[in-house]
């Protein structure tokens, strides 16, 4: 089991590099280029939010998993914007090779499962893949059109994409999105409908990409943001689900992790090793949940808030596993970067025992059993004693 878990974590470490792959489009606030990891998180959120608009034969849980994986190959081949001249056949071959390489880091059974799902998305023939592709066409388009002051070149690309480009087929397969995009491009009056009433929440959610955490990327020196973190721990949960302490509904845990940090848009991130007024922070997060989920239609508003509160309470098996994964990811990154945020906050081993161990052992004790010897080794190599209080 140790070898299997080590292989799974090797894959998850490699996946961290997706946070360094820049795309051609920018965040809604125009502050910087978007990266492929936070794009993948945002697309998964699109899937959950737009689920009521999918055809009856679409499994949203499978769509979310496809979207978590769909851009991983860009770690090897990079992002290729649709408006640039590209040898698409050559790129398809390169992406297939990249998928085999990356998923090949996993144990054989998982490698085949992930590769097959990625290939299904690429083939775009099943109901799940078609809906995932529709969302992948929509998100970049509306990221441009919903900006307060989009760059003229980006608007030009969006217009070309909608008028004869890859997004043109939305007129037939997702007309509510197509007509709203057209209205935004032409400055025509927009109408409230099942698509537009959900778009405001998704637009607001883009801000999570600008909430910085205390931990750094494994592949670079910048701080991780909460959107790409959410994508990564969803991947962690999916890969490591077999190590849960008890039987879980993996897709429900994924939905919790998809939403769990959205409140940070209003309430900010507060590191576990920082000085925090927990009562004040809880009040801020509750108010944030009320405002942000309140942007959704009534049924989804209740569902999303209930799911977020279930995660926060950490009483169900699904929430306990999700919490375990959320605590597990940062130590992996810190070990990889020579201590990371532990150095910044003067964290000791005993503090990790007190603040991190309970959540991990409560949901997935096998993960702590794998992690703990490495923590001891790390702190023994530092100037502090491993059990220093």
- pLDDT tens per residue across span 327-374: 999 999 999 999 988 998 899 999 999 999 999 999 999 999 999 999
Closest CA to 47 of 293, 258, 288: 258
Q: Which two tokens stand for residue 16?
A: 């961290």
- Residue 387, pLDDT score: 45
pLDDT at 117 > cutoff 80: yes
Mean pLDDT of the chain: 94
CA gap 167, 137 in Å, rounded: 6
Is there a contact between 267 and 285 (Cβ–Cβ < 8 Å)? yes
CB atoms within 10 A of CB 341: 22
Closest CA to 341 of 229, 248, 174: 229
Mean pLDDT of 222-233: 97
The alpha carbon torsion through 93, 98, 101, 106 (nearest 10 deg) reads -120
CA gap 11, 101 in Å, rounded: 10
Helix then strand then coil, % of the chain, to nearest 5: 70, 5, 30
- pLDDT tens per residue across span 125-146: 999 999 999 999 999 999 999 9
Share of the chain above pLDDT 90, in %: 85
Diameter over CA atoms, the chain: 66
Q: Which one of 1.10.3210.10, 1.10.287.3510, 2.30.110.10, 2.40.10.10 gives the CATH number of domain 2-200?
A: 1.10.3210.10
Mean pLDDT of 203-207: 98
Stretch(es) of the chain classified as CATH 1.10.3210.10: 2-200, 211-381
pLDDT at 384 > cutoff 90: no
- pLDDT tens per residue across span 248-258: 999 999 999 99
- Residue 383, pLDDT score: 60
pLDDT at 194 > cutoff 90: yes
Length of the chain: 389
386: confidence class by pLDDT, cuts 50, 70, 90: very low
- Residue 62, pLDDT score: 98
- pLDDT tens per residue across span 146-166: 998 999 999 999 999 999 999
Is there a contact between 289 and 318 (Cβ–Cβ < 8 Å)? no
CA gap 262, 270 in Å, rounded: 13
- H-helix or E-strand spanning residue 15: helix 2-15
pLDDT at 33 > cutoff 60: yes
CATH superfamily of 211-381: Hypothetical protein af1432 (1.10.3210.10)
Q: Which two tokens stand for residue 15?
A: 């996946």
- Residue 1, pLDDT score: 61
Mean pLDDT of 11-25: 96
Is there a contact between 321 and 244 (Cβ–Cβ < 8 Å)? yes
pLDDT at 81 > cutoff 80: no
CA gap 147, 47 in Å, rounded: 21
| Pairing between β-strand 22-26 and β-strand 33-35 as defined by DSSP bridges | antiparallel
Is there a contact between 287 and 266 (Cβ–Cβ < 8 Å)? yes
Q: Which residue has the higher pLDDT, 2 or 306?
A: 306
């Amino acid at each position: 089991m140790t070898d299997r878990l080590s292989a799974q974590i090797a894959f998850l470490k490699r996946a961290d590099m997706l946070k360094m792959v820049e795309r051609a489009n920018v965040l809604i606030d125009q502050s910087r280029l978007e990266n492929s990891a936070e794009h993948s998180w945002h697309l998964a959120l699109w899937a959950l939010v737009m689920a009521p608009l999918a055809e009856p034969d679409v499994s949203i849980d499978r769509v979310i998993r496809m979207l978590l994986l769909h851009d991983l190959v860009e770690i090897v081949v990079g992002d290729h914007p649709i408006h640039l001249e590209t040898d698409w056949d050559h790129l398809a071959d390169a992406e297939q090779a990249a998928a085999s390489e990356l998923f090949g880091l996993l144990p054989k059974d998982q490698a085949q499962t992930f590769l097959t799902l990625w290939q299904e998305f690429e083939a775009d023939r099943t109901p799940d893949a078609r809906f995932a592709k529709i969302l992948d066409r929509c998100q970049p388009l509306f990221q441009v059109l919903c900006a307060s002051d989009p760059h003229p070149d980006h608007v030009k690309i969006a217009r070309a994409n909608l008028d004869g480009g890859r997004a043109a087929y939305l007129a037939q397969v997702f007309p509510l999105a197509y007509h709203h995009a057209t209205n935004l491009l032409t400055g025509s009056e927009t109408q409230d409908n099942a698509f537009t009433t959900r778009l405001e929440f998704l637009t607001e959610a883009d801000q999570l990409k600008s909430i910085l955490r205390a931990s750094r990327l494994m592949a670079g020196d910048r701080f991780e943001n909460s959107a790409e973190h959410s994508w990564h721990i969803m991947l962690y949960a999916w890969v490591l689900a077999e190590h849960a302490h008890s039987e879980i509904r993996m897709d429900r845990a994924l939905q919790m992790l998809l939403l769990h940090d959205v409140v940070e848009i209003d309430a900010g991130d507060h590191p576990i090793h920082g000085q925090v007024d927990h009562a004040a922070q809880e009040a801020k997060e509750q108010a944030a949940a009320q405002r942000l989920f309140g942007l959704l239609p009534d049924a989804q508003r209740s569902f999303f808030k209930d799911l977020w509160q279930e995660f926060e309470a950490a009483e169900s098996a699904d929430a306990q596993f999700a919490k375990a994964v959320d605590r597990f990811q940062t130590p992996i990154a810190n070990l990889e970067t020579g201590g990371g945020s532990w150095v910044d906050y003067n964290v000791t081993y005993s503090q990790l025992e007190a603040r991190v161990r309970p959540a991990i052992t409560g949901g997935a004790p096998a993960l702590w059993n794998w992690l703990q010897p490495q923590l001891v080794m790390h702190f023994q190599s530092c100037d502090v004693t491993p059990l220093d209080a």
